[in-house]
Structure 1
Amino acid sequence: MIDNQVQSTFHWSHATDLLTSIELIYHIDSSENKQQSTIPLHLKFKHLQTSVELFTIDTYLQFDSDRDFYSINIIEYIRSMKPENFLIESSITSETCQTSHTYMILSSTNLHLRPNQTFKLNPTLSFDLRQLTDAQPESTCKLRTIQIKFEDLGLAYLIIRPKEYTFTYCDGSCSSTFHQSSMHAVLQSIINRKTGNVPRPICAPSQFADDNFLLRQTDGSIAIYPIKDAIVKQCACL
């Protein structure tokens, strides 16, 4: 904080090929005036080793009333930089010195998912599972995706970023083809068809991955949290 200027510095060393946005987010304490729809923002791009100023930008932060913060997407500025290793200094005027946190959030909609693999038993037990299942119609159990907006779900105030999210889920029928399933599911399917004494295996997540979310805490502050099992990576008949 210098002369009512809230200053933040970021070291940039990433490629932008897979990125869709690079946001600067200012979370400002509730005691400050939030009636303004915009706040002036001054950006400096500097050489990493020498700190020589490459260029400056005067622009504006936009207020997001659903999420209660100011932000700007600076991806086009960063894409224009050569080389891809530099410092970014941002500063805004804060009359009450109550600005809480500044974040840089990188977003990408390129979700790399491995395609479903065929069911594999122990090599010593290799055989065609269709011999057990009487060549029933193949399973349609697959990994599917849908784009969601957290503000449409009424979660924008709680989930600060991402604003949009690729939600993955499992859907489809389970019959003779099993995706990374177990012998238990194979036998359950056979018992279901032969006797009806147990339910048919269902299409469900079999492998997850974690993700990071920028969340609002109970005291109103915001912080980045790792969320366990947020992404479905594979589906199986279980």
Structure 2
Amino acid sequence: MMTTKNISFILLCFITLISACENKAIHPEIEFLASKTTVEVGEEVDFLISGTAETFVIYTGDSSREYEKSYMAVTAGHDIERETITLTEEGFELIKEEGWLEFEVERHNNVATNDSVDYYQVLTDIQNMIDITYLTTEQAQYEVYLVMIPLPNVAKNVVTKYFENQTISITPEGGYAIGESLSRINPQYSYKYSKPGAYQVTLIATNTSNKNYGNGGYNGDRTSSADEYNYGRTFKHINITVVDQIALD
């Protein structure tokens, strides 16, 4: 005989199963075709998409539209929420070559009474910091400050001028490439290339899960951020060759 306790347990399992399914993002099933894969400069190529997804984004592969330079591709595998500050060999050589630090130390020593700084000892201590990873700019500045305590502002500027912020350095020259967002209702797209070349077109179709709430559930967590969702993404690629226009007789 089914008891109230048993019914409650079954309902709880059912609700848990449904919730788990809702928090999984289904990968879209799509087809991606082009009207032509070899076109002339200025000739329109039509991209045909079938299937459904919540969002579609297309990267045509030419300058500033290359998927490999997009924010998604460049930051993949990087903890972009965390700084990593490092002094490289090149940065240390610049400290010596530019002479800025030596000038600041000498200027301090010219007026100092009993807190002079040994430039060469400072240089040796900074050299020992090469390839050490600091998790914040402030942490790196504090470590430099410890080897030149009478010069706190100089220590800050050493990090700003010569240490490398790895978080910033992953940004491509010229900035991130931009994709074109397409209508989810009718996700078709036409494009004309302005220069000859070989281009890889990338289509990204994405579905999003329901929000993954914290222990407080909806009532305790009404904020929203990207990392609170699961994403199901499907990538499709087409290679397009663009040639110079054929001269008319």
Which bracket does the TM-score occupy, shorter chain normalised? under 0.3
Structure with bigger helix share is 2
Provide TM-score, normalisation by structure 1.
0.25
Query: Which structure has the larger Rg over C-alpha atoms?
Result: 2
Structure with bigger RCO (C-alpha 8 Å, 6+ apart): 2
Structure with bigger strand share is 1
Provide TM-score, normalisation by structure 2.
0.25
